[in-house]
Amino acid sequence: MNKKMNLLMFSGEYDKAMAGLIIANSAREMDIDVTMFFAFWGLLLLRDPDKMTLEDKTTYEKMFSMMTPKCAEDLPLSNMNFAGLGKEMLLDMMEDDDAPRLKDFLNGARKKNVHFSCCKLSLEIMGLKKEELIPEVEIVDAKHYINNAIECNMQLFI
């Protein structure tokens, strides 16, 4: 029987996103099927800064698009962010230890065939379009997520 893992990514914070992607990459290296379901702030991890658009968006959606992180590397820390200074300190410490950055873990998960899905309703509420996300993302509803989670050996909420 093939083992399966489901991660619900709700947070839009660098360190939490990194934890989820480290777990996803590690699970794939153990031949575990991984589905990551992104909702609300977690969607910001999937944004492609080269594909952002303000076209066909309401005023609120345009404002939201301009004020939120443009890609994974722009996400703030969950604690000790200090207007970005804390994140710079963390990135310096990671560099000193030759640790990969968040974008490296995201690209690794993409190459290892982690399944990326995102909440259709969250996408609509946040004013994002599928075209603004990385191409591997599948748009699904909450029932799809629940059915996947029921089939999995492990579920995590980050």
- Per residue in 40-89, pLDDT (tens digit) is 999 999 999 999 999 999 999 999 899 999 999 999 999 988 888 999 99
Q: What is the pLDDT of residue 29?
A: 97
Q: What is the pLDDT of residue 82?
A: 87
Q: Which of 41, 42, 37, 24 is nearest to 111 (CA)?
A: 24
* Residue 111 token pair: 């190459």
Q: What is the pLDDT of residue 84?
A: 84
125: Cβ contacts below 8 Å, ≥ 6 apart: 40
pTM of the model: 0.92
